[in-house]
């Protein structure tokens, strides 16, 4: 058997070794991590719904009715009335004809790209797109062409040179930087060049736009201009899984062709019931988004006063760029010593030389929590 320890030792020496932490508490700002109380700023639970009692109660009732597992793929016997109702509600939420549930965002992105494009076709992506979008293009065999981050001139060049069926896939909110894609410009370019536009709005849904409808609502874009929308349920929704929303023809195509849908056991129906509850809260309680905006504004003002340079981001994702992986690791350890948990993000998750602390906020945070974070950041301030 091949010796893997040289690889592991290299990762340790480069400051790139990763380890799991063990939580002894629900997902919330105040955690018990590895047996120690910590104030966390590294969750994607943007609206604070992961431990919301109403969502938990819907989950409990779902288990009582449907049991703990779905038992099969959606196309066998795994597709319950709860799944079906959630798909209909997500379609209404996103303003599209239909929605299709997946067990994860990774599987959803693989499904779309491999179903719409193959050998001889072209997939175009932003350099900072999520890994699942990149892997989808590679798995499907299409030519993958990437353009510099948010560079519309480069995106147009890629579209003009594309061959075969063309799909441009992009994050609505970039997961490591928190900035938004220029979706209006990309939509116009894709219409000009007769290309599909797919938006992965994992970090925009629930956070941006009226009723939390996401990046597309933030820009006023409809299904005609953005025909493929992917969203995840494990972030602002506070549960698990993902969905693709689009036309009747798109969803039926995925059901017939997408291997990551056909050959995957369906999410437990109880998760679907919990998500139906969280979707209702997400749409109705705009105060959660208002609180997020207040938290982000307080942080950005305080961080600038400490001397940090912040990338442009109106979202709960607020990165502090350290540069080298070792520096980001040192920063994280310094905060942890003061009871604040912010995990370091290092290559290959981000490009070389852009390691960072990825600070994220939840509507469950209090303004006092932000002040505690800023006080802890004094130890690493420039």
**pLDDT tens for each residue of 323-375:** 999 999 999 999 999 999 999 999 998 999 999 999 999 999 999 999 999 99
Residue-wise pLDDT for 288-326, tens only, equals 999 999 999 999 999 999 999 999 999 999 999 999 999
- Residue of 175, 260, 278, 332 with catalytic role: 175
Per-chain mean pLDDT for the chain:
96
- Percentage above 70 pLDDT, the chain: 100
- pLDDT score at 289: 98
**Is residue 175 flagged as an active site residue?**
yes
Fold held by 53-284? 3.40.640
Whether 40 is catalytic is: no
Residue 1 pLDDT greater than 80, yes or no: no
Lowest mean pLDDT among 135-139, 192-196, 218-222, 257-261: 135-139
Fold matches, 13-47+286-380 and 53-284:
no
Which residue among 83, 145, 203, 365 is the active-site one?
203
Q: What is the mean pLDDT of residues 50-55?
A: 98
pTM equals: 0.94
Residue 11 predicted with pLDDT over 90? no
The active-site residue out of 74, 83, 145, 235 is 235
pLDDT of 8 strictly over 90: no
Kindly list the domain boundaries of the chain, sorted by start residue.
13-47+286-380, 53-284
What integer pLDDT is reported at residue 16 of this predicted model? 85
Structure tokens at 207: 């956070």
Note if 235 is an active site residue.
yes
pLDDT tens-digit readout, 197-248: 999 999 999 999 999 999 999 999 999 999 999 999 999 999 999 999 999 9
Q: Which CATH architecture has domain 13-47+286-380?
A: Alpha-Beta Complex (3.90)
């Amino acid at each position: 058997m091949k010796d893997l320890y040289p690889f592991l030792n290299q990762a340790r020496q480069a400051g790139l070794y990763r380890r799991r932490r063990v939580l002894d508490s629900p997902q919330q700002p105040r955690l018990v991590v590895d047996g120690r109380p910590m104030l966390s700023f590294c969750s994607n639970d943007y609206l604070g719904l992961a431990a919301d009692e109403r969502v938990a109660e819907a989950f409990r009732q779902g288990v009582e009715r449907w049991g703990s597992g779905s038992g099969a793929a959606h196309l066998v016997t795994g597709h319950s009335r709860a799944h079906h109702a959630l798909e209909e509600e997500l379609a209404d939420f996103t303003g599209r004809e239909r929605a299709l549930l997946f067990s994860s965002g990774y599987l959803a992105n693989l499904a779309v790209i491999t179903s719409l494009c193959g050998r001889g076709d072209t997939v175009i992506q932003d350099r900072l797109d999520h890994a699942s979008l990149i892997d989808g293009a590679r798995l499907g065999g299409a030519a993958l062409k990437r353009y510099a981050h948010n560079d519309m001139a480069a995106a147009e060049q890629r579209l003009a040179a594309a061959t075969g069926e063309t799909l441009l896939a992009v994050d609505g909110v970039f997961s490591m930087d928190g900035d938004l894609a220029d979706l209006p410009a990309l939509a116009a370019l894709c219409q000009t060049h007769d290309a599909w536009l797919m938006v992965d709005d994992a970090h925009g849904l629930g956070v941006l736009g009226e009723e939390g409808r996401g990046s597309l609502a933030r820009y006023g874009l409809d299904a005609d201009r953005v025909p493929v929308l992917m969203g995840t349920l494990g972030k602002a929704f506070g549960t698990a899984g993902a969905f693709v929303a689009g036309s009747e023809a798109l969803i039926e195509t995925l059901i017939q062709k997408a291997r990551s849908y056909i050959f995957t056991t369906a999410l437990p129906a109880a998760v679907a019931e919990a998500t139906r509850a969280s979707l209702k809260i997400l749409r109705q309680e705009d105060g959660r988004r208002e609180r997020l905006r207040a938290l982000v504004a307080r942080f950005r003002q305080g961080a600038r006063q400490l001397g940090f340079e912040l990338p442009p981001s109106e979202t709960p994702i607020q990165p502090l760029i350290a540069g080298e992986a070792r520096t980001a690791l040192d920063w994280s350890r310094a905060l942890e010593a003061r009871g604040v948990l912010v995990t370091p993000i290092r290559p290959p998750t981000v490009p070389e030389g852009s390691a960072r602390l990825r600070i994220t906020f939840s509507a469950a945070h209090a303004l006092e929590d932000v002040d505690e974070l800023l006080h802890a950041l004094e130890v690493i301030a420039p």
